[in-house]
Structure formats: structure tokens, C-alpha cells
Structure 1
């Protein structure tokens, strides 16, 4: 049964990534999965607040340094990620990003770049989480890296739309991810398979250079290198606050929804 579900997920991901949806709505649904049942509805509570309020506090960066989704909220988070609200929230963020950049009067000097995170920003790992759970259990790097090596993650549809619009505006794309250097080839292949056909730079984390560094330190340093090379960061998109905090964050940053995990 599980193998059948995974095969179905990968088939749907392939259809979405190659743009074969029968309509705008069909292409917009990352995974038409059955929602999770049982506890975890909007009315479920953890430490005296509803899971919906917990998610809001997480997205607003009021609850920080948390390690896992509270067990009481795992089904709620699963339903949110697999339901329409997650897609609508992603659409709202990317729409604002486009409205912002469209209004800019940017020099046509080839120095304008937009920085995108990869996981849960450009690519979606929902097939992995649908199989392995939505965060109440500790993160398992072994199983997640095995999933990454399949190179099967589809694009987040609304981020991909923004990506295409930015290219049409002449803005260069930089992908900046916390994935390690040894995943460069599979990440590049996955991005292309998902429809991100071109980019100016794909930056992965050199764990020797950034040993022990947080995501904020690492990404700030790499964005700083871009600026030293003369690039103008007009926008920065990420699903984690650590993607958009720190230094050299760009002219404006956009936080995509992700209540499944927290990276400092």
C-alpha cells in the first residue's frame, strides 16, 4: 500500500513538474492526497493554544528554536500542508514578490539577482513528509538524504511562476541552499527536471568552510560574496527565517510558509 502511494506521489510530481496539468487549478495542486484523519483539527490545542495559533506564532517568528512539531499538532500540520490553504498562502507570498519587483526601476546592467532557497521554497519535499510524517518525530537525516538522492522533488507551483516572471524581467537567479556540496549534481538535476531550467549560480554548503555555522551565518556570508562580486540582491525568498535574516539580505525578503521544521 505504501509503495503504491509513493509511486502515485511521484507520478503526480512528474505531471506537475512538466506542466501537463489539465487546468490552472490542477497544476496548482501539488498533491491531491487524502487529508489526515483523527486529532489535529483547527480546534486541537498544545500548551493552551490551538494548533492554528501555534502555526501562526511559528510563521511570525514568535515561537523560535523549536525542534519538532508538537505531537498534538502533527495531523493539523499535515492537513495544512496537504490542503488548499498552504497553496493559497504560497500564492499570496509569491504574488506580493512579483508586484514588488515589477514596480522597481532597475538598471539594465546584468547585476540584478534574486536569491531562492531550495527545499520548501523552490522544490517541495511533501512526498517525503507524506510518507514519513509531518514533524512530530525527530528529523532523520538518513531517510531525508535518501529521498533527496532520488531527485524526484517537484516544484512549488507558485514559486516556479515567480521564477519565470523574474527571468522575463532580466533578473538573474541564484539558488542558495543548505544542502551539502556532495548533493550538487542531484540538486541541479532535480531543479531542471522540476522546470527550473536555468540559473546564474547554484550555491551549496561547504561543510568544511562553514563547520558549526548556523544557516543565518552561512547564508549571510554567501550573499555577502554576491554583493562583493558586484551583484544587486533585489529579492530573497525562503521558507525559514534563517533564509532571510542576517546580513546582505537584499532589498526585500519574502517568507514562504513552512510549519514543519525550524532551522536557526
Structure 2
């Protein structure tokens, strides 16, 4: 199923209505598009440069992926709270928050940024999802552009993998 079909399927989700149903959203290349950055840098022809990428993040101008924003709004209308788990670091919290707001994501239950080092992206994302469930939330769904967003424990009842032709995180 393409992402375009997900919002129409959302009405069939088992939502308890007690405020504890959440949907996990990755940030980069899932909720926000860094395509303008990659356009400036040859769409992957240039070697990745973390300093340049972090400077792009600090601009706070990444647009929303339209279908993800549509899903976000549909889920909120059903009473499912969004939770963003990102590989961005804690020092990027303010710019990430303002970029999400500017892109149309106006509220969320949690914005989780990477505060410490983890051996792998899967370990980090799994650990954060586990903490969310231990806090009493139910993960109804999860969407990301990397398998590391979806694999591991506590992934949720429904998972959706978006294509990402720009990079792969193991």
C-alpha cells in the first residue's frame, strides 16, 4: 500500500479513546523533506558532509512531506497522538520544533531527540519506543523512511516504510 492509502485505512484502527494511543513518526525524510538540501548538493553525488547537513537543519526550512502531513492530521482527528522520534540531537530541539510547526505539524505528545550514543539506530529507536510504552502509551502505528525506524522491539501494531533513495541507515 502506498502512503496515500494509509489515511483512508486509519478509520479501521482500534483506538481506545483514553488518550494513550500514539503513532510514531520519524522526522527526516518521513515528516520533513530534506530534498532542498540534497538538491543543493547534487542529490547524493557529493559525499555526505555532516557539517553542511547540520547547517541545513539549523535553517529550519525543511518542508513537510504532504502525504505524511495528511496522515498526521487524519490520525489526530481519530484521537491518536503523534510522537516524533528523531535521530537529530538534543541541541537541535528548538530548530526541529519550530521547523515542525512551520511545516504544519502543530501539536504532538512527545518530541524525542537523540540525547546519547547508541550502538545502532535500531537500538536507539527501540529503546525510545519501549520507554513510551512503559509510560502507559499504546503504539498504534509507526512510519519511517529507514528500516531502523521500524525494526526492533515495540514497533507498534502497524508499520509503514517510506522509500528513501538518498541514503540508508543500518
TM range (shorter): over 0.9
Deviations 1:173-201 (A, max 9, x none): 10000000000000000000111010010
Question: What's the offset of the Cα at 1:106?
Answer: 1.8
8 Å Cα contact 1:93/1:255 also seen in 2: no
Q: SS of the residue aligned with 1:134? A: helix
Q: SS of the residue aligned with 1:253? A: strand
* 1:94 and 2:3 correspond: yes
* 1:234 and 2:140 correspond: yes
How far, CA to CA, are the matches of 2:100 and 2:118 in structure 1? 27
Q: SS of the residue aligned with 1:155? A: coil
Aligned length: 170
- 5+ residue gaps in structure 1? 1-91
How far, CA to CA, are the matches of 1:108 and 1:173 in structure 2? 14
What residue in structure 1 maps to residue 156 of structure 2? 250
What residue in structure 2 maps to residue 172 of structure 1? 81
How far, CA to CA, are the matches of 1:195 and 1:101 in structure 2? 20
Q: SS of the residue aligned with 2:156? A: coil
Using CA pairs below 8 Å that are at least 6 residues apart, which structure has the higher relative contact order? 2
* 1:152 and 2:61 correspond: yes
Deviations 1:33-58 (A, max 9, x none): xxxxxxxxxxxxxxxxxxxxxxxxxx
* 1:221 and 2:127 correspond: yes
Q: SS of the residue aligned with 1:113? A: strand
Q: SS of the residue aligned with 2:79? A: coil
- 2:98 is aligned, of 189, 192, 205, to 189
Give me the TM-score of the superposition, normalised by structure 2: 0.96
The structure with the larger Rg is: 1
What residue in structure 2 maps to residue 89 of structure 1? none
What residue in structure 2 maps to residue 69 of structure 1? none
Question: What's the offset of the Cα at 1:212?
Answer: 4.3
What residue in structure 2 maps to residue 85 of structure 1? none
